[in-house]
């Protein structure tokens, strides 16, 4: 039995039957992290002491017979969720020594469910990036080929799952940061509806776009994690107060008669032949399962990149203004005066990509430019959301590629920010519209690199995505493959 490839349900069953203890499973992953992390750089912080203590508590809880489906399961979390008493860096020099005095709602709920948190995973600095190369702690590396990026910004979480350094992980998605690295590492990544999961204790990049979600080996595992994470939180003013359905029930449904829209704009110039072929084969699979695949159009799609890179940097500029060297975070040495402390602390504490986005955001919010850029971008955002609303009134969900290409080489796009930004061209619109979406493995290219397909659903209809995703994974074995 290969412990590193266990599903969450199988691992939970072994723990309940006492065939395996949480301490044994946790020690296995801690040893594996020690062996593999120096090469892959998936983790920034490993909490060995805390993980083993949580595992012991989980074993005691299971012995009493009062565990949950997550009790004793070793997970990893992206290093932007505040964890009380455990360093939270956001992969930035600005916060490289920050130890939060409170717990995020996501990690609190996971801990209350009995999950074991192994540590905090690598990411692009403040979640700003598409390759995990902007991290102050160095890039995470794709386990399918360590010379290549795992995608970003949740690259460390993707690597940890794909390489078997945890059973599952939590990421965040602002413009594709769960789905894009999931596609590039051959795992399943779910971005829920905006507001479905609390953002309290999540260090903010762009507050109207950020959303947490599960990164797993299968749709079934994603459903299990989502069940524990979803739900209203009074500590988050954007949290949706709606009933959380049983996502396990969605896994038993079928796709016979399901209407799947195929947007023409997502199969245009820029898509590699390998990705196009794999996604078209996936469409054939869905047809064979009884789904109807219907061509349609999302005409505002070409405006996604410029709209996102006005709105997201504007919100980042506002959110990151608090990092000034005064109350917490990095402070420069021997400042001459207050102005010097502000300027040098921010210049030395932030990396190049973060500073680029802060400057861009400050510019589009400045007097004389606000109407020309920020206000106009918000109007286009409304048009993009209207496109989705019109399309999803005709079909149950949409099917697209997740990324235009497979994992690229580390360093390949560092000198061309626009080319890097285009890595998220198929995922950004979903965040602008606040919709749920999931990325599933659907094939490999000639270099044996994973390819992902994306399913996009109506607001709060994660169950439909899980139904379709489960049916696809029962009919294929792409999600069962693992890097050597």
Residue 19 is a catalytic residue: no
Residue 73 confidence (pLDDT): 98
Q: Considering the domain boundaries, does residue 173 fall inside one?
A: yes
Residue 422 confidence (pLDDT): 86
3-state SS assignment for residue 223: helix
Q: Which of 160, 440, 417, 442 is nearest to 305 (CA)?
A: 417
Residue 389 confidence (pLDDT): 98
Give the tokens for residue 296: 């349609």
Domain count, the chain: 1
The CATH code of the domain that includes 122 is 3.90.1300.10
Is residue 294 within a helix (H) or strand (E), and if so which, with residue range?
A: strand 292-296
When the pLDDT of each residue in the chain is averaged and rounded to a whole number, the result is 96
pLDDT tens profile 374-387: 999 999 999 999 99
Q: 177, 239, 423, 439: which is the annotated catalytic residue?
A: 177
Q: What is the pTM of this model?
A: 0.97
What is the rounded average pLDDT of the residues 189-214?
Answer: 98
pLDDT tens profile 290-329: 999 999 999 999 999 999 999 999 999 999 999 999 988 9
Range of the domain at 444: 3-253+400-480
3-state SS assignment for residue 154: coil
Residue 122 confidence (pLDDT): 98
Q: Considering the domain boundaries, does residue 468 fall inside one?
A: yes
Q: In the predicted model, is pLDDT for residue 166 greater than 90?
A: yes
Question: Contact at 8 Å (CB) between 104 and 202?
Answer: yes
Q: Considering the domain boundaries, does residue 314 fall inside one?
A: no
CA–CA distances in Å: residue 171 to residues 17, 76, 193, 459:
30, 9, 14, 20
Report strand pairing: 211-216 vs 292-296: unpaired
Q: In the predicted model, is pLDDT for residue 246 greater than 80?
A: yes
Task: Give the Cα separation of 13 and 116 in Å (integer).
Answer: 16
Q: 153, 198, 228, 463: which is the annotated catalytic residue?
A: 153
Could you tell me the pLDDT band of residue 129, with boundaries at 50, 70 and 90? very high
Task: Give the Cα separation of 406 and 403 in Å (integer).
Answer: 7
Cα torsion 374, 379, 385, 389 to 10°: value is 170
pLDDT tens profile 335-362: 999 999 999 999 999 999 999 999 999 9
Q: Considering the domain boundaries, does residue 114 fall inside one?
A: yes
Q: Considering the domain boundaries, does residue 354 fall inside one?
A: no
Cα-based angle 85, 231, 8 (whole degrees, multiple of 5): 70
Residue 366 is a catalytic residue: no
Could you tell me the pLDDT band of residue 269, with boundaries at 50, 70 and 90? confident
Q: In the predicted model, is pLDDT for residue 1 greater than 80?
A: no
Q: Considering the domain boundaries, does residue 40 fall inside one?
A: yes
Residue 415 confidence (pLDDT): 87
What would the DSSP string read from start to end of 98-140? ---SS--HHHHHHHHTT-EEEEEE--SGGG--SSS-S-TT---
Q: Which of 128, 149, 42 is nearest to 408 (CA)?
A: 149
Percent helix, strand, coil in the chain, to 5, is 45, 15, 40
pLDDT tens profile 33-66: 999 999 999 999 999 999 999 999 999 999 999 9
Q: Considering the domain boundaries, does residue 69 fall inside one?
A: yes
Q: 21, 22, 78, 463: which is the annotated catalytic residue?
A: 78
Q: Considering the domain boundaries, does residue 437 fall inside one?
A: yes
Cα-based angle 58, 59, 64 (whole degrees, multiple of 5): 95
Residue 78 is a catalytic residue: yes
């Amino acid at each position: 039995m290969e412990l590193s490839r266990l599903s969450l349900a199988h691992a939970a069953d072994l723990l309940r039957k006492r065939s395996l203890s949480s301490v044994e499973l946790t020690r296995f992953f801690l040893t594996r992290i020690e062996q593999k992390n120096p090469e892959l750089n998936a983790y920034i912080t490993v909490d060995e002491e805390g993980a083993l203590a949580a595992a012991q508590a989980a074993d005691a809880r299971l012995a009493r017979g009062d565990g949950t489906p997550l009790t004793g399961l070793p997970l990893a979390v992206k290093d932007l969720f505040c964890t009380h008493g455990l360093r939270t860096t956001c992969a930035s020099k600005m916060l490289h020594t920050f130890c939060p005095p409170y717990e995020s709602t996501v990690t609190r709920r996971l801990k209350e469910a009995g999950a074991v948190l192994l540590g905090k995973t690598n990411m692009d600095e403040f979640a700003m990036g598409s390759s995990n190369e902007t991290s102050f702690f160095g890039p995470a590396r794709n386990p399918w080929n360590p010379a290549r990026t795992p995608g970003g910004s949740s690259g460390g979480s993707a690597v940890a799952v794909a390489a078997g350094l945890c059973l599952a992980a939590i990421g965040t998605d602002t413009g594709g940061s769960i789905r894009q690295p999931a596609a590039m590492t051959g795992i399943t990544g779910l971005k829920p509806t905006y507001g479905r999961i609390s953002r309290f204790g999540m260090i903010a990049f762009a507050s109207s776009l950020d959303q947490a979600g599960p990164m797993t080996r299968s749709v079934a595992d994603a459903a299990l994690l989502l069940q524990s994470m979803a739900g209203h939180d009074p500590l988050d003013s954007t949290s949706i107060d709606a009933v959380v359905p049983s996502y396990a029930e969605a896994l038993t449904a079928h796709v016979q008669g399901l209407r799947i829209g195929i947007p023409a704009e997502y199969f245009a110039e820029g898509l590699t032949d390998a990705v196009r072929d794999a996604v078209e084969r996936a469409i054939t699979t869905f047809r064979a399962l009884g789904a109807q695949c219907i061509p349609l159009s999302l005409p505002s799609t070409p405006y996604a990149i410029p709209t996102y890179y006005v709105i997201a940097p504007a919100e980042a500029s506002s959110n990151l203004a608090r990092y000034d060297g005064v109350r917490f975070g990095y402070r420069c040495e021997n400042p001459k005066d207050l102005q010097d402390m502000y300027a040098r602390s921010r210049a030395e504490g932030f990396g190049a990509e973060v500073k680029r986005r802060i400057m861009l955001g400050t510019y589009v919010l400045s007097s004389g430019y606000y109407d020309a850029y920020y206000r106009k971008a918000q109007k286009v955002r409304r048009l993009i959301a209207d496109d989705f609303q019109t399309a999803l009134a005709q079909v149950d969900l949409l099917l697209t590629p997740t990324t235009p290409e497979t994992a690229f080489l580390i360093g390949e796009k560092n000198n061309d920010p626009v080319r890097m930004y285009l890595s998220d061209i198929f995922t950004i619109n979903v965040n602008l519209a606040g919709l749920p979406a999931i990325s599933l493995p659907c094939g490999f290219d000639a270099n044996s690199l994973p390819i992902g397909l994306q399913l996009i659903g109506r607001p709060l209809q994660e169950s439909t995505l899980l139904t379709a995703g489960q049916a696809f994974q029962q009919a294929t074995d792409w999600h069962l493959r693992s890097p050597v």
